[in-house]
Amino acid sequence: MAPPSTALQVVILAAGQGKRMHSDLPKVLHPLAGRPLLSHVLASARQLDPARLCVVVGHGGDRIRERFAGEALEWVEQGPQLGTGHAVMQALPHLSAGGTILVLYGDVPLIETGTLRALADTASKGALALLTQVLDAPAGYGRIVRDAAGAVARIVEEKDADAHERAIREVNTGILAAPREALGRWLARLGNENAQGEYYLTDVVAAAVDDGTRVEARHPSGARECAGVNSKSELAALERHCQMNQAKRLLEAGVTLADPARIDVRGELECGRDVSIDVNCIFEGRVVLGDGVRIGANCVLREATLGAGCEVKPFTLIEEARIGANARIGPFARIRPGTELAEEVHIGNFVEVKASTLGRGSKANHLAYIGDSSVGRDVNIGAGTITCNYDGARKHRTVIEDDVHIGSDVQLVAPVTVGRGATIAAGATITEDVPPGGLTLTRKEQVTKPGWERPRKK
């Protein structure tokens, strides 16, 4: 056990099965805007610089731990799952004495750091701080019951509420903060005499009132901030909300979006000035677009950096690559991981490039495959050309020096080097190094057989 601390400690409840998701994937691992739900909650919590982050897992706990392996997290197993109060009870022995405990939920991903900070500050002054919300349609939520003076008296779960209590519109979000020692006392007094037979965390409110502790309600800054995910439809609704927020941010930064409702940012998208993005484009991981970049419709960019003035034409996939200024890519091109294209490179329709570098001004405009290759400046690669880089067991490298012209339908069988300024005739199969300059071809003499008849179907 660590020495006593007066700092903030965070407990995130992530043990639920998520039955309504109808999925084998643990609920908190379902992606929202490209990251697991739990990842969003952790990001908000870390902004508070807590002394400890404790995650309570149950169903699918091994998969959750594996997904966040290497991160500075305290893992706690809750088994069996006997309610939210029981979950926090499991976490307490793993927390330092003193300070404030903030309880969050792994399936409430949009919670803002500012809201959490206000809640934690309130609890640090000795109060039990609850995050509550007023809803027009409060069905499904626990209700905040106040006394005649307007102070919070208790929380009643909907299953246990009478008709008068169900008419209350102020609801419990489940998120709370409390002094560590007081929370421990209140949890020790919880019972499970309710419709679910569970230990409700919400019952600490009545315990706090009995102790004479102030119970103070705080409210989120936005309506969606406390929205939880219990079904695929709720997840889809939050996804659209997130994406519209991303689109708004891009528009305010000067990016031109053909349709703000048809862009998906599943990570971090950084744009320079005068960037334009057509419809149905997806950006995953960290993507950087320089000034004047134009992205055509139906493109996917993942972990990529594009220099100023680049144009990406429709239906192009770019993954883990760096593209130089004023390059032109697509349509229907695939740029695979490990590729670096220099300035003014042209990659055309149905061209695939993998783990290769292309120098300034080089072009492969039609139906080519360039893999495990080093291509120099001002190289022209003809239609149908491929680098044969794989022998069935190992990958081999192709080197094409500056100012090479490769005709159509050429096979370059690696390992092979094509010297500077060489020209390779159409249809050649190159299995040996090509010297600089000159014309290299591998054709046999053309032969015609007069009177030959093509076989016909019977």
Closest CA to 55 of 33, 36, 84, 77: 77
Look at residue 358 and give its three-state secondary structure.
strand
pLDDT given at position 194: 79
Alpha helices in 146-262 (DSSP H): 163-166, 180-188, 204-210, 232-252
How many C-beta neighbours within 10 Å does residue 292 have?
A: 17
pLDDT band at 415 (very low <50, low <70, confident <90, very high): very high
pLDDT at residue 297 above 90?
yes
pLDDT band at 222 (very low <50, low <70, confident <90, very high): confident
pLDDT at residue 3 above 80?
no
Mean pLDDT of 301-329: 98
pLDDT given at position 59: 87
| 89-103, 126-140, 435-449: range with lowest mean pLDDT | 435-449
pLDDT given at position 6: 57
The per-residue pLDDT for range 398-409, each reduced to its tens digit, is 999 999 999 999
Chain-centre distance of CA 388, in angstroms? 35
Q: How far is CA 322 from CA 283, 318, 407, in A?
A: 15, 9, 27
Q: What does the block give as tokens for 18?
A: 């998520």
342 contacts: CB under 8 Å, gap ≥ 6: 324, 327, 357, 358, 359, 360, 361, 362, 377
Q: What does the block give as tokens for 383?
A: 């239609």
How many C-beta neighbours within 10 Å does residue 424 have?
A: 25
40 is catalytic: no
pLDDT given at position 4: 41
pLDDT at residue 1 above 60?
no
pLDDT at residue 387 above 60?
yes
Say how far apart CA 347 and CA 366 lie, in whole Å: 8
Say how far apart CA 122 and CA 130 lie, in whole Å: 9
Please say whether the structural domain 233-440 has been given the CATH code 2.160.10.10: yes
Could you list the beta-strand ranges (E) of 290-362.
294-295, 300-302, 305-306, 311-312, 317-319, 321-323, 328-329, 334-335, 339-341, 346-349, 352-354, 357-358
How many C-beta neighbours within 10 Å does residue 446 have?
A: 5
Mean pLDDT of 192-202: 86
Mean pLDDT of 274-285: 98
pLDDT given at position 429: 95
Q: What does the block give as tokens for 399?
A: 């080197």
pLDDT at residue 259 above 50?
yes
Please report, rounded to a whole number, the percentage of residues in the chain having pLDDT higher than 90. Answer: 84
Query: Given 94, 219, 241, 366, which residue is catalytic?
Result: 366
Give the single-character DSSP code of 247.
Answer: H
* One-character DSSP codes across 30-59: SEETTEEHHHHHHHHHHTT--SEEEEEEBT
pLDDT at residue 352 above 90?
yes
pLDDT at residue 5 above 50?
no
pLDDT given at position 253: 97
pLDDT band at 292 (very low <50, low <70, confident <90, very high): very high
Closest CA to 89 of 1, 13, 160, 26: 13
pLDDT at residue 27 above 50?
yes
Domain ranges in the chain with CATH number 3.90.550.10: 8-218
Q: Within 13 Å and on the Cβ side, how many CA atoms surround 129?
A: 24
pLDDT band at 169 (very low <50, low <70, confident <90, very high): very high
pLDDT given at position 2: 43
pLDDT at residue 126 above 60?
yes
Domain ranges in the chain with CATH number 2.160.10.10: 233-440
pLDDT at residue 140 above 90?
no
Is residue 345 a contact partner of residue 363, using CB atoms and an 8 Å limit? Answer: yes
Say how far apart CA 281 and CA 263 lie, in whole Å: 5
How many C-beta neighbours within 10 Å does residue 317 have?
A: 21
Please indicate whether residue 387 or residue 223 has the higher confidence score (pLDDT): 387
Please report, rounded to a whole number, the percentage of residues in the chain having pLDDT higher than 70. Answer: 98
Give the single-character DSSP code of 390.
Answer: B
Say how far apart CA 299 and CA 279 lie, in whole Å: 9
CATH number of the domain at 8-218, please?
3.90.550.10
pLDDT given at position 130: 95
